[in-house]
Amino acid sequence: MRLRLLTTFAAAALLCTPAPAFAWGAEGHRIINGAAVRALPAGVPAFLRSTAAHDEIALLGPEPDRIKGAGKPLDDDDDPGHYVDVLDDGTIAGVAPLSALPVDRRAYGRALAGASPPADEYGQGYLPYSIADGWQHVVRDLAYWRADVAGETKAPTAADRAFFHYDRTIREAVTLRDIGYWGHFVGDASQPLHVTVHYNGWNGAHTNYPNPSGFSNSHTLHARFETSLVRAVASEESVAHRMPAPALSSDPILAQVGRYLATTERFVPAVYRIEAAGGIDAHSPEATGLVLDRLAAGAAEMRDLIVEAWVASGSASVGYPPIPVRDIESGAVTPSRANLGLGD
């Protein structure tokens, strides 16, 4: 239902804007990804901080939206990964609080099935797991990159050393792609209308949520906030200047994601208040400040999670049977194609 509704609204928006509305729009996602990369500290590998890496990761920011429209089953399977319908009490369907997200999508599905009425992840969205799963993928990418770097000098044969050099170049390309694609979902989660049941008008076609403030039911609100306003007021430079200081954490990834989503959700009423005052269409200072701050929050979260992924990769294991990366880097284990999972 949600995909059909948003598709209808996006089609209507085409009548008055030159491009369809997606989460933050293409420009917003490029800004978030680009600002995140330019803010990475010197402690992460240089290949992540190069101009080429910035340009590629920024370009890939809109990629999960660009593949929409591929048809079934891809659209129906992937679209709910861009949002999560959070109620005003901070829970999903009344059974999954952002402060205590289920440990994985299977557990999330079981929790939603127990809601009244029963729900599922395809109706409620599974954005928290898009972020967490993608982050763990990046950790693995960087763990294998560490092993490749060690293998270039520590492998026992010239052939293996040459292989690890080649594998490192491929791993760098894969890692940039994975970060660029995953960053889209981190960006989605900084957009308040992607973290609420009030995603495009306070009450949708089949809902009747309490609305004591008389907030708008406009079905163009989503696109006007995340696309038209961003185009008018935002740039990577302006967002980079508003990014908060790094705030790294060693908490489990889903705990961090839950806090991030809860913070974003608290801005939902502000979007509606600004819309009611005409600020979104007028590009008022309040509207401009909110949208730039939300873009900056997405870029900061992405930056911090990349740094955390780099740190976590040092404690990861690779190959089969698993070998601790620290043992490969220290020389306690000699890397080879076979023990890193590329031999029979």
Residue showing tokens 């049941």: 197
Pairing of strands 317-318, 91-92: unpaired
d(Cα 246, Cα 41) in Å, to the nearest integer? 10
| CB distance 236 to 34 below 8 Å | yes
Which among 205, 200, 191 has a CA at the least distance from the CA of 218? 200
- Give the chain's end-to-end CA distance (angstroms, integer): 47
pLDDT score, position 65: 96
Angstrom CA distances, 113 to 205, 255, 317, stand at: 23, 22, 35
Q: In this structure, what token pair is assigned to residue 59?
A: 């370009």
d(Cα 64, Cα 77) in Å, to the nearest integer? 12
d(Cα 219, Cα 216) in Å, to the nearest integer? 9
Pairing of strands 96-97, 91-92: antiparallel
| Structural fold of domain 2-342 | P1 Nuclease (1.10.575)
**Radius of gyration over every alpha carbon of the chain, rounded to an integer in angstroms:** 21
d(Cα 287, Cα 276) in Å, to the nearest integer? 11
Q: In this structure, what token pair is assigned to residue 54?
A: 């910035």
Residue 12 neighbours by CB distance under 10 Å: 13
Q: In this structure, what token pair is assigned to residue 256?
A: 């961090």
Query: Which residues have a Cβ under 8 Å from the Cβ of 285 and sit 6 or more positions away?
Result: none
Per-residue model confidence as pLDDT tens for the chain (344 residues): 354 344 444 434 333 333 334 568 999 999 999 999 999 999 999 999 999 999 999 999 999 999 999 999 999 999 999 999 999 999 999 999 999 999 999 999 999 999 999 999 999 999 999 999 999 999 999 999 999 999 999 999 999 999 999 999 999 999 999 999 999 999 999 999 999 999 999 997 667 899 999 999 999 999 999 999 999 999 999 999 999 999 999 999 999 999 999 999 999 999 999 999 999 999 999 999 999 999 999 999 999 999 999 999 999 999 988 999 999 999 999 999 888 877 65
